[in-house]
Amino acid sequence: MCTLEDIDSFSDDQISQCLVAKSIPVYDHMITNRINVMLLFKTNNTLDAKNVRYLNNPDFTSIYISCGNLHDALELTKIFTFYSNKKESRGYSFSNFSNHPITVNGVYYPTTEHYYQSMKFLGTDEMWMEVIRKSPTPGIAKKNGSSKTHRLRTDWEEVKNNIMWETLWYKVSQNRSVFNDIMNTGYQTLIEASPYDSYWGWGKDKNGRNQLGITWMSIRKYIRENGTQF
């Protein structure tokens, strides 16, 4: 039997077993915040499978403590989905395809997709990086970034999450409208609702990693704690 007192000393595998015992679906990325997991147990499974996404919201713990009750905390951190790259769509600014250019070390990139995809070849194929940067659309930049005929940097899998954080930071710190959009989400749980990508989005079955949403929430929390200058 798992108890609240056990959690602090448990390994991730042991916590996963406890969650399974409480009929909570477990994904390898979910155990990101021990305090949130402890809250899950403290509330006797009130945070059920439907609400498991809240465990990846870095603001959830502080909001729960501030509210003093789970109902209000869940309302303030309710889910906000985004996906479409159409300018009039909700969450357009959070798409890497959105028309928000960035400049890094004096080099201009039409979208954050152009920058992110080009970083895959840093140190291995700088000519191809330039081809990606000059791609006519973010879709073509993504396609070029997926090329199998050019050598990917060997550490890509280890650094790609940090590169995405860096990419979004350039975007939000250089585009006032994006800054306003992300801060206007308050403490909501952001989810990239892509049915095709179960790493950056939530995938077809909505059980994916949602790494893009997690990264945007991290950026938002960082701004709230540290500010930004334009």
Q: Where are the domains of the chain?
A: 4-77, 82-226
Which pLDDT score, from 0 to 100, does residue 6 have? 56
Beta bridge partners of 103: 108
Quote the CATH superfamily of domain 82-226: YbiA-like (1.10.357.40)
Sequence length of the chain is 230
pTM confidence score:
0.82
Q: What is the CA radius of gyration of the chain?
A: 19
Residue where the block lists tokens 């005929």: 149
- Helical H segments across 68-208, by residue range: 70-76, 112-118, 126-133, 138-145, 156-174, 176-183
Residue pair 59/217 in contact by the 8 Å Cβ criterion: yes
DSSP secondary structure code for residue 220 in this structure: H
Which pLDDT score, from 0 to 100, does residue 7 have? 53
What is the pLDDT averaged over residues 172-180? 97
Q: pLDDT tens-digit profile of 31-88?
A: 445 556 555 555 555 445 455 667 678 888 788 778 877 778 888 999 999 998 888 8
Burial class (CB in 10 A: 0-12, 13-18, 19+), 141: buried
Q: pLDDT tens-digit profile of 191-229?
A: 999 999 999 998 998 888 899 999 999 999 999 999 776
Beta bridge partners of 107: 104
